Amino acid sequence: MAGLEAIESSGSNPDVTLLYDINGLTDSTPGWADKLMEFVGEYGILLGLVLVVLWAWWGARKRGTLDDAASSVAAVVWAPLAAAVAVLVNVPIRGFVERPRPFKDHDGLTVLINGKNDFSFVSDHATLAMAMGAALFVANRKLGLVGIGLAVLEGFCRVFMGVHYPTDVIGGFALGTAVALLLSPLASAVLTPLARAIGRTGRLGRLVWAPRPATPEPGAVELPESRDPATERDLAA
């Protein structure tokens, strides 16, 4: 197995051992699968999360009242904003820790993507993905679980690709979750009135509120319009 000697030399460090275990799966995967994992881990999952956010926004617009729709849309909008804030918070963390990428300190790793020469802790991809997943969970439980599942897959891909330690990913999950949940009340207080104001405008308001047209209940009988007797006499005359 690739990196067996490096594992033995790592002693009881479970972080390095798990790194080699996961990255070592590349020994038994075909080249096309490695290319697929490279795309999924670098771009695909983040694109999938964007699509889930758009799906959540589309449904949030169709809430019954403007106030309900505005609060729901504001919660969905917080998801990509939380991801951006979390990555910004990560900038000084990475500069302070200055942890090299695992392939720079450990031999025998299979690196599926080149050009990763910045610091490793914490993973930007894991931070982005989990911040969006956690924020989506606040807005929509079902879609939030989908987002969290995609974030976990993102973390696995980063270790599989040989560009992050497992603890880089776990740190990213913790950072993304903390930013998304701790700042959620503040984001709601700012974004909900803004969404409500946009919802009261013309065509732009459909970005916030697009209620479904009312449909008659099954078996309901539509009553004819009542007519004014005086008006009917005037028409007859």
Q: Per-residue confidence at 203, pLDDT binned at 50, 70, 90?
A: confident
pLDDT at 150 over 80: yes
Q: Is 150 contained in some domain?
A: yes
Q: Is 115 contained in some domain?
A: yes
Q: Is 4 contained in some domain?
A: no
Q: Based on the structure, what is the number of domains in the chain?
A: 1
Mean pLDDT on 172-186: 97
Q: Is 216 contained in some domain?
A: no
Q: Per-residue confidence at 237, pLDDT binned at 50, 70, 90?
A: very low
Q: Is 129 contained in some domain?
A: yes
pLDDT digits (tens, 9 = 90+) for 81-91: 999 999 999 99
pLDDT of residue 50: 96
pLDDT of residue 215: 55
Q: Per-residue confidence at 165, pLDDT binned at 50, 70, 90?
A: very high
Mean pLDDT is lowest, of 103-107, 142-146, 233-237, for: 233-237
Q: Is 235 contained in some domain?
A: no
Residue 60: CATH number of its domain:
1.20.144.10
pLDDT of residue 11: 52
Q: Per-residue confidence at 219, pLDDT binned at 50, 70, 90?
A: low
- Provide the residue range defining the domain that includes 28: 12-202
pLDDT at 8 over 50: no
Q: What is the 3-state secondary structure (H, E, C) of the chain?
A: CCCHHHHHHCCCCHHHHHHHHHHHHHHHCCHHHHHHHHHHHHHHHHHHHHHHHHHHHHHHCCCCCHHHHHHHHHHHHHHHHHHHHHHHHHHHHHHHHCCCCHHHHCCCCCCCCCCCCCCCCCCHHHHHHHHHHHHHHHHCHHHHHHHHHHHHHHHHHHHHCCCCCHHHHHHHHHHHHHHHHHCHHHHHHHHHHHHHHHHCCCHHHHHCCCCCCCCCCCCCCCCCCCCCHHHHHHHHC
pLDDT of residue 3: 43
pLDDT of residue 100: 93
pLDDT at 103 over 80: yes
Please write down the long-range contacts of 112-115, taking CB distance under 8 Å and 24 or more positions apart: 112/26, 112/34, 112/35, 112/37, 112/38, 112/41, 112/160, 112/161, 112/162, 112/163, 113/38, 113/41, 113/42, 113/161, 113/163
Which one has a higher pLDDT value, 211 or 116? 116
Mean pLDDT is lowest, of 120-129, 186-195, 199-208, 209-218, for: 209-218
Q: Is 209 contained in some domain?
A: no
Q: Is 222 contained in some domain?
A: no
pLDDT of residue 117: 85
pLDDT of residue 149: 97
Please tell me the pTM assigned to this model.
0.82
Mean pLDDT is lowest, of 11-25, 38-52, 69-83, for: 11-25
